[in-house]
Amino acid sequence: MKISGKTMVGCVGMGLLAFATMSGCATNDAAGPLSASLSAPEYARIAETQCAGLPTKEQQLGVFAYRDSIAGAQPLKEEYSVGKMKLTHERGVQLAIRAQPSISVPWLERVATCHLALARSNAIAASDGDPQLVIGATVRVESTFTGYVVSIHAPDADSAAEVMRRATVAMTAPSGPMTAEQTAH
């Protein structure tokens, strides 16, 4: 499927993906609200509007605030052509999030945009383990029959590998506060 001059293709167990192009979508494309050319004060202005009313957890963690609802993750594949051959390469990760009554595509887009804008304005510390904060990464959200697909797209192969690594670590780390059960060996 063609979006903003880029071709992105991917499948998740929940169905074939189409990428969101709504104005609230977190992106680095020049047409989007989080252009790579913005300054920290400009990101701060975006954060001010996008983060208003969002719980602190969503601001700090972005879409990973819903980690307990993530049904799975898989590599985001991008299709390209070499002559008549069509090939694919990994360009990030796709997260399948189960449907919940309080979550919608615009809400998840707002959470992602807020989180990215806060990190890029230096209002929150950028975590080295956050796949959403890999340099140049963009976040897109789409609704599916059983929930949502959040695609974190990276600009190159090295960044894509880093996004996938961070997502894998984030998905396997224990969630919530440490308890005696979790620390006992």
pLDDT tens for each residue of 40-57: 999 999 999 999 999 999
Q: What is the pTM of this model?
A: 0.73
Residue 110 CA to residue 23 CA, distance in Å, equals 10
Residue 26 CA to residue 142 CA, distance in Å, equals 12
Indicate the pLDDT class of residue 35, thresholds 50, 70 and 90: low
CA dihedral (144, 146, 148, 154) positive or negative:
negative
Cβ-Cβ contacts under 8 Å for 55 (sequence gap 6 or more): 65
pLDDT at residue 177, as a whole number: 42
Whether 63 shows a pLDDT value over 60: the answer reads: yes
Indicate the pLDDT class of residue 36, thresholds 50, 70 and 90: low
